[in-house]
Chain A
């Protein structure tokens, strides 16, 4: 998922200037490419569709009201995602009686607490994207991502789902590029370990002689 598939920085700056000059309706087009990424970010934080949708609306309203503060030294998508993330984190703090989302301290400098050894195997049959037509597979992937500890889920969300680069991810999370890489590495290993046994069941059958399925 690329937040802004076709809008260049210049085009974005142009539209923002027009909106600020009074062509407010253009705001709809400006944010359309980011709707999905914002919802997914908030759903990851809040774990509830209704809350995520409400928070997304609030976040986009904040984006609109603060549009004059956007400086263009960050990408617009990064700026919007940061606003959405702060909205979500603010709601989590209000919910503090619900402990499912501890705000973890930065642990990159310490010895890793988890086991970051991948699942061992000796051959791998590619699970193609078509396999995602199956709901069970989508659910397994979704659950595995949501169940990552928050500091790891964050980087997976931004790097592998929103397809931000390392620097944008670091800026959004307020951590160093080095930490982004360490966390992403650990997250991917944890996901590999958890998902390999599941994914095996979704690989296409081995082909026999002459490409026949056996």
Chain B
């Protein structure tokens, strides 16, 4: 089985997640070794996925946690009685 670039793109996401069959994975690896476009596409997509997972991307409003726990404390207490 010889795979082309388009075929590799179809599996980028599963490849990054380690979710492709060993045979296909080997084929993709072989393709990536000689295809600079696919290897750059793969590396850049993986880079995006790693950056996205970083906590700093979404800022939480200052005092969010304090206000949340204050509100919860009130609910917890009112239901005590």
Contacts and interface: CB of A to CB of B under 8 A. Distances in A.
Interface of A: 1, 24-25, 27-28, 31-32, 35-36, 39-40, 43, 49, 53, 56-57, 60-61, 64, 117-124, 126-127, 129, 131-132, 137-138, 141-142, 145, 156, 160-161, 163, 181, 184-185, 188-189, 191-192, 195-196, 199
B58 A121 contact: no
A156 B51 CA distance: 12
A126 B43 contact: yes
Contacts of B65: 32, 35
Given A161-B57, A199-B48, 18 more contacts: A31-B72, A36-B60, A39-B58, A39-B60, A57-B68, A119-B41, A120-B41, A121-B40, A122-B40, A132-B51, A142-B58, A145-B57, A160-B49, A185-B10, A185-B14, A188-B16, A196-B44, A199-B47
Contact of A122 (B36, B52, B72): B36
**Interface of chain B, helix or strand or loop or mixed?**
helix
Given A24-B80, A132-B56, A132-B57, A118 B9 contact: yes
Q: How large is the interface on B (under 10, 10 to 19, 20 to 34, 35 or more residues)?
A: 35 or more
A64 B13 contact: no
Most buried by A among B44, B59, B80: B44
Contact of A156 (B37, B52, B60, B61): B52
A126 to B, nearest CB: 6
Nearest to A191: B48
Nearest to B35: A122
